[in-house]
Structure 1
């Protein structure tokens, strides 16, 4: 077992990778040993202090910072609040704007994070323009609706109902977060030679958004105005009738969506295994299952952590395809597999007795060789025998659709004796 002196010696030599490995491998001992806990906290403070002194282009430092981030989010080692913020700041310093943005939004009040967020949004504007699209659908009396609305929000002397340019665009950004800020929008309008009259550009913005966003922005503005101009708001709502709809919650969306969404977590063992996983994904799609697979979406330049974090939450179920190589990467928390497994474990640890999200599937190797220890408590689907693939596949699809082959019959009545 490691002791605190070993940690201090590694700390003195600045052997950061070895210490980070110890934080994971000895996590239980560290939690239960006061001296080891203290030594770990000393490392945490000294490491982040030293990182600030290193050159930004020191190659190995981003990997160390990323490892510490994964340890913290996987709840294998918990940083103090102040050090977590410092960790995020140091990661932001060393990432490209696109990658740094995903971390910067965690602490948007920090100066360097503000700068990255601003640069990212500016690049988005250049790349996507103002996100104004061709009009899809408008209420029949759209012009009357807009004129009545603008009449209410166009009184500067009434601070409650007046919508200045910044206030209007801030409302838009609640539903379209990548929409430009007010200064960026005005700069773009000037560059394009378009009018910056509020009545004209409010109209252009609403007209150019998708129907769902436009409806919800108008609904939100009317909610703000109603306590002050109830009669006028009611008149607008009467004209709109049933045109405006509210964005359903994520739970409601899942209930309404008859096609389940699944995320597949696997390791790129070899070309044969990658093809097997791709074929499985294609077959699931043909059976009405929306599959989130990295090979469908990730191309060079795309951000892997963002893809994983964003899509794991979207999925109704997660299929983990276990192989010896998957277990190796999951145990060491390396690569995309390590990152995915760390995030999934957080949810699993919290819901050990009621796992209704993750479906373990054993593709190769023995249970001991291929499935991490913690995951062995869950019943898995055995897909190692290709000759029996259809039976395994049928079990998988039934599980995804929650249609078990064997169902308990309804409880009858007591027989007459």
Structure 2
């Protein structure tokens, strides 16, 4: 049992590492004891006031740990101190990584500038890497072909949606009604294809490329091959960009540097949804191209189309098993039931091997949470938060096919 005096002594000594360790080890006691909670808040205030202007690597590690504790629901910072944490991370991290943190508070001036600088840098780097001359007409025609199928709610882009995407990078661009009214006054066509083209060609090259990249990000989970062709035309992707390695036979094999992973899970409650979202975000920060419903699905989108396309495109499928997941899967209920039906058919057709599906147990026991047929496969156990880091490393190794234990080569026969 920790006492508030223990925390106060650590704060007085500025022993931040030990204090943070105590916050983690005694998180349940702190959450349920008002005096300990108060001591925790005093730690937050003292810590953030003392580290102001401190750029040491040690302090950086404390900040990283606090971020993990907060997002893992081990210890919740106050809203104001969480913002201070984010701003410190934004200040210390490389631009691309800082921009990811800055998205937590996009309206903060520092975060907004960081996000804009990272976006500009990304477009600039893409332009520098371009090896194919720009052909905007071909690029536009290919893009419009992808977004013009009204029967496909996952990829169809209406006029208002197109302008909303443009306004993500051009916040002062007119809204849809303003733009259409202006075109009518000028006697210009309001045909989607014509005014989409006019909007793109009216932007400077850097802005136009930024908008196109945003559209490609939206479309890629559903039309991967067509999007990759456009990326080649934009100079964002070349055949030479694919890393190669040699197999044992000496033939060339493409190294998958960003494996595409679909996460199947049930919306049990807000805590579980947050845990899955945090897992997805962390995997993406470790180079995994995660497909998550909360990234791509919103009102009007086709769930069945999204599920079919995601399962088909994914190199790996992560199933987060809980008792509620098993219930929905067994009853073939909702999105989980549909996902499980597709995955189960694939496994039934080839029961001797499973290279695609990674079972993850999050809650309950194997019997309570994993459907009977899936119980034959070895699962990763992520039920215990205190061993999460080790289990997370195991998960990354599974995704990247990098086992912790490598089979050694067979040596020469000894001489007798």
Same fold (TM over 0.5): no
Larger gyration radius, structure 1 or structure 2: 1
Report the TM-score when normalising by structure 2. Answer: 0.43
Report the TM-score when normalising by structure 1. Answer: 0.43
